[in-house]
Amino acid sequence: MNDLDFFAGLAITGTVLGVDATSDLATVQEVLGNEHFYVQPVAEGSTWEYANADYGLIDFGWGRERGSSEWTCLYAGTQNHRVEPVLLIDELRGAVTERGFTMDSSPQWPGADFSEHWVPGVSISALVADSDPEWGPPGTVIKMLGGVGDRHDILKARAVFHGEEKKFKAYSKDLRTLSDEQLARWLDKREPAADRELWWTFLRSHCRDQLGLALDLAAAERGVDSPDRAALNLAGWSSIESAPPLDDAVTQWLTTTPTLDEGRRLAAATTLTPDEIRLSRRLRDQAFELRGYPPSIRAAEVADELRAWVELGPQLLRRL
């Protein structure tokens, strides 16, 4: 494997030697070693402490509440600026394309000298210096890092709806006073045909609590979210009394997900097609997102099946 193969694999799978931001510290240290872990000095008054598992090129960032024994991975990937030769985004995109994938991109913010590039469905972003000579020639990849969850939709939505933040904040206040029927009519009137998914992303980023739940329910009904994503969104609202029962949301996710046998086949494989890699990445992320729910599920068979997925998740993409 040459350097370009390594970075293309990181962009495509979101993993470094099979570990990523969904991995726990013990697993990362088992794969990469434990000699490069150091805790940062705690800022005065902070309730959190931070640490790095810094392996030179490979870098994992960690955080935990003070007094907790469990570290949570905040980001994982590579610090490309630390090594030679320079990796150009055109080289990375070409290697990704040859392997059957595409890359999307967005300015880091409107007018920025930096842009982010990623494979859809993968949290890893290649941060690219578009014109700053300090980092190298135009198109130099500075780093490739990602955390838990996919922040790329909101990054693109902010670029598309730049300058409209006040309008969307006003929406979030106005919508709180509407009934379900009034909300439906409001959405019928304003929901755009162009950039529809990004509009929904930007709208929901301004809404919390009961209104956030109402919008997630509306998005599911209107087909904005895929059925599995809709189920995950609803599970996230399970602490709100008016939300659908957690058992229903998890059952919906299980019925829109491949079978456990298929998941185990994917986890055991040493070679996968592009579509199988995409599916494995999605399942690994979603199993991680659902990891805290099994104790709260009432139906034993649903809890057992979800628990099996949570245990399987970290094994997906490990053997590639």
Q: What is the CA radius of gyration of the chain?
A: 21
- Give me the residue spans of the domains in the chain: 3-155
What H or E segment, with its residue span, contains residue 55? Answer: strand 48-55
Q: Check whether 229 has a pLDDT greater than 90.
A: yes
pLDDT at 143: 98
CA distance 29 to 218: 43
Q: Check whether 233 has a pLDDT greater than 90.
A: yes
Please name the amino acid found at residue 251: T
pLDDT band at 109 (very low <50, low <70, confident <90, very high): confident
Please name the amino acid found at residue 91: E
Share above pLDDT 90 across residues of the chain, in percent, rounded to a whole number: 94
CA distances from 215 to 66, 166, 211, 232 (A): 35, 19, 6, 14
With contact defined as beta carbons under 8 Å apart, do 10 and 320 qualify? no
Range from 19-28, 148-157, 273-282, 296-305 carrying the lowest mean pLDDT? 148-157
Q: Check whether 167 has a pLDDT greater than 90.
A: yes
pLDDT at 287: 98
pLDDT at 2: 83
Q: Check whether 257 has a pLDDT greater than 90.
A: yes
Average pLDDT rounded to a whole number, residues 115-130: 97
Range from 22-26, 129-133, 223-227 carrying the lowest mean pLDDT? 129-133
pLDDT at 82: 95
Nearest to 207 by CA among 186, 228, 192: 186
pTM for this predicted structure: 0.95
pLDDT at 70: 94
Instruction: List pLDDT tens digits, range 285-308.
Output: 999 999 999 999 999 999 999 999
With contact defined as beta carbons under 8 Å apart, do 92 and 4 qualify? yes
Average pLDDT rounded to a whole number, residues 248-262: 98
Q: Check whether 58 has a pLDDT greater than 80.
A: yes
- Residue 183 has phi, psi (to 5 degrees) of -65, -40
CA distance 83 to 230: 41
CA distance 105 to 120: 10
